Structure 1
Amino acid sequence: MTLHAVDDIDEAIDATKSFLFPFELRQWLRMALVVFFIGGGSGTGGVQNVGQLSNVGGDGTGSPSAGEFSLTAPLESLPAVPNPAFQVGAPVPAEPSSLANEIGSAVVIAAVVGFLVVALLFAYLGAVMEFSFTQSLISQEIHVRQYLGRHKGNGLWLFGFRFVLGLVFLTLVVAALAAVFVVAGGNLQNPSASVLIGSLGIVAVSLIGLVVVYGLINGFTNVFVVPMMIQRGDGLVAGWRQLGGSLRAEPKQYLAYVFFSVVLGIGVSIVGTIAALVAALIVAIPFGIVGLIVGFGLSTVSQTAGFAGGAIVFLLYLLVMLVVANMIKAPLQTFLRYYAMLVLGDIDDALDPIPEVRRELRSEESV
């Protein structure tokens, strides 16, 4: 039996060459922008516990620290204070520590909400860009704004699907971790070694299985269902229904695709990493020279100016490397996506998302 996952590798390379070459800078920059969004992104940060400001001026135990005012005589022995601010019923100003806690809590909440809004917006743009990327490969033309407007509805469906899938995955992961607590008898501080090892082993296997299932569902949606939604006009649910029938009819072909796509993905990652490192070194040479000139030049004015100038040059270097790295990823991701669509069309002609590209490739091969 012919395995399409093997036969279509060379054609995927040819399709990538036909799409991206001869080299055009504007086309590659557009692809780099799209690849940046579909590649996703993450950021980490931390917020210190501003509630600890309430301990300022003390040792944290409730007793005054050195240099603080403290009462050394009973209140009855103190002279009366005529200031009305100390009389019964006078308003007492809020403690600075309480005000600091309230401000700190507001800042934390605002930061969390802002992060969530940005993350959701980025996730939605990533979903729409999936359709823009695939549409570009199908039509062999790149029109970012045009495709964004055309597929904003489909992008919303994909965003919702990913959101629900992520929630389900997270819920199952939490449930698997909670199972350790239940199996250990509700006491993780002193469980028996055999029970703990056994439960951890079960949880580890369960987590690996969940990751595999999640990866397959998400991956098949991106490389198979999204092209079907574009080419056939199917909705996301209808696309998965069509794909499910094909999966049941040709399980060996899809299993072969999964295996070879993983192998090719590893190879592509290695190639991309090496290329990015080489590019980083090459780009670092001119930026390093400019940074030294700017840093030393401005340091004659002040050390702060020299440091600021060098920092600006370094930030520009990072920005250029971000663009270069995504330009390197563009042909690699194009190859993997063409490979998936070629395999899908060979397995099931009715689901072929790139019939024109396929005919062009095979007509060139027959010449």
Structure 2
Amino acid sequence: MTWYVVDALDKAFGRTKKCLFEPFDFWKWMKLVIIVMLIGGAGSNFNGGGNNYSSDGYNLPESGATDSFTDTFRGFIDQIPTDPGMGLIIGIIVLIFILILFFSYVSSVMEFVFVESLVSNDVRFWEYSRRYLRKGLGLFLFRILTGIFLLAVIAIMALPFVLPLIGASGENYADVIASNIISLIFLLIGIILVTAIIGGVISSFINLSIPVAIYTESGIFRAFSNVFRQFRKDWKQIVVYWFGRILLGLVVGIAVAIILLIVMVAVGLFILFVDMLLYLALSALLTGSDAIIWMILVPLILIQTILFILLLAFIALPASVFMKYHMLTFLQQWYTDVEIPVFDMQQINEELY
């Protein structure tokens, strides 16, 4: 039996080579780097914060605990409009939350832009961004629902440990936690493993659904349903695909990490040496003017940092492109009902016939 995850390796490598190096186009790389950074830099995973609620009397049936909680809550509410510091903190939190949602939406749009750019081998950042605003919104909403589902899974798994705490009084919290510390450790490990597996499976289906949504002109929800239906028909290929992608991701990740580490050390030491020489030169020319020296150095260091990050992103780009081409190539072989017009298909067909 042929495993598509293995067969896709050679073709994905060839497509990566043609896309990035035949010929090399700096501005094409630059646009792809920006797309990849927007995909990876957004907060697309919605994680629930760990809020700890405590009071002297936690057992709600006791009137003292209820009164204490009510007084504390009322005091907090009364403090909001009068305390400028509290208002500023709340404003910052709201702003951060809005930015997370915004960049999550941008990340969802860029997922479609990245696929379209690689399939066509023609990166049109603004044109593709406008084209996939609606599909990106659907993916954004789908990810929110996925995050809510994962939070529900975590909550259900945590119930066996949370329920004893609810029934315990404030004085017994430490005893309850101490008596269940081993269970808590295994619970945390179980939650991490289960959510990682479920999240990874859903993420895999979503990634496969994005090209399906593009080239069947359907929404992400319908595309996800179609991919899942195909999974039910041919689940063995997907299971092998998951294990193959994990292994391939480890190999590619280790290789890229080694290269990035070498570049970071070499370039970082060079930049540090240049900045030290510049600082010594400015100190000799501008004796006693430390403020002016740092006014010159700080913008320079900021520019160096931006260029350094872009350099690392450029080096890591081929890995991202290869992994995406590998997914697209696998999808072509696994889900033949969807025609993905990859840029080299005409040449391959001519060679076959």
Separation (CA, whole Å) in 1 of partners of 2:305 and 2:293: 19
Contact 2:142 2:221 in 1 (8 A): no
1:81-160 superposed matches below 5 A: 102-160=83-141
Q: CA deviation at 1:105?
A: 0.7
Corresponding residue for residue 205 of structure 2 = 220
The letter of the residue matching 1:214 is G
Equivalent in the alignment of 2:146: 165
* Alignment partner of 1:244 is 2:228: yes
Contact 2:212 2:223 in 1 (8 A): yes
Distance in 2 of aligned mates of 1:192 and 1:320: 49
Alignment RMSD, CA only?
A: 2.6
Partner of residue 347, structure 2: 360
Letter in 1 for 2:261: L
Task: Tell me which moved more, 348-357 or 5-14.
Answer: 348-357
- Counterparts of 1:202 and 1:292, CA distance in 2: 51
Gaps of 5+ in 2: 44-78
Q: Which has the higher contact order (CA 8 A, sep 6+)?
A: 2
Distance 1:328 1:284, change over 3 A: same
Residue 303 of structure 2 aligns with which residue? 316
Does structure 2 retain, via aligned residues, the 8 Å contact 1:14–1:361?
A: no
Question: 1:8 is aligned with what amino acid?
Answer: A
Residue 286 of structure 1 and its aligned partner are, at CA, apart by 4.9
Q: Structure 1 residues 345, 183: CA separation in 2 closer, same or farther (over 3 Å shift)?
A: farther
CA contact 2:16–2:325 (8 Å) conserved in 1: yes
1:180 and 2:177 are equivalent in the alignment:
no
Shift of 1:336: 0.8
Compared CA separation, residues 110 and 251, structure 1 to 2 (3 A): same
Q: Distance in 2 between matches of 1:361 and 1:263?
A: 28
- State the match for 1:234 in structure 2: 218
Match of 2:189 in 1: 204
User: Does the C-alpha gap of structure 1 residues 144 and 157 become closer, same or farther in structure 2, counting only changes over 3 Å?
Assistant: same
Q: Are 2:291 and 1:307 equivalent residues in the alignment?
A: no
2:239 corresponds to which of 255, 269, 290: 255
Give the counterpart letter for 1:221 in structure 2.
I
In the TM superposition, residue 327 of structure 1 has moved relative to its aligned partner by 1.5
1:38 aligns with 2:39: yes
Greater CA drift, 316-325 or 277-286: 277-286
Whether the 8 Å CA contact 1:342–1:354 is kept in 2: the answer is no
Q: Are the counterparts in 2 of residues 180 and 196 from structure 1 also a CA contact under 8 Å?
A: no
TM-score by length of 2: 0.80
Q: Please give the per-residue CA displacement for 1:44-80, whole angstroms capped at 9, x wherever unaligned.
A: xxxxxxxxxxxxxxxxxxxxxxxxxxxxxxxxxxxxx
Q: Distance in 2 between matches of 1:216 and 1:340?
A: 14
CA contact (8 A) 1:5 1:256 kept: yes
Distance 1:195 1:287 in 2: 52
1:166 Cα deviation (Å)?
A: 1.2
* Contact 1:342-1:358 at 8 Å conserved across structures: no
Identity %: 24
Greater than 4 Å deviation, 4+ residue runs: 98-101, 192-196, 361-364
Q: Is the contact made by 2:109 and 2:136 (CA closer than 8 Å) also made in structure 1?
A: yes
C-alpha displacement at 1:342, in angstroms?
A: 1.0
Structure 1 length normalisation: TM-score? Answer: 0.77
C-alpha separation in 2, matches of 1:305 and 1:267:
48
How far apart, in 2, do the equivalents of 1:271 and 1:363 lie?
35
1:164-195 Cα distance to aligned partner (Å, 9 max, x none): 21122123324433431225674442138675
Structure 1 range deviating more: 305-314 or 326-335 = 305-314
Larger mean CA deviation between 230-239 and 247-256 belongs to 230-239
Gaps of 5+ in 1: 43-97
The answer for the alignment partner of 2:7 in structure 1 is 7
CA distance in 1, matches of 2:345, 2:234: 20
Flag the 1:262–1:362 CA change in 2: closer, same or farther, 3 A.
farther
Task: Evaluate the alpha carbon distance shift between residue 183 and residue 106 of structure 1 in structure 2; reply closer, same or farther with a 3 A threshold.
Answer: closer
What is the rounded CA distance, in whole Å, between the counterparts of 1:159 and 1:100 in structure 2?
34
User: What is the number of equivalent residue pairs in this alignment?
Assistant: 310
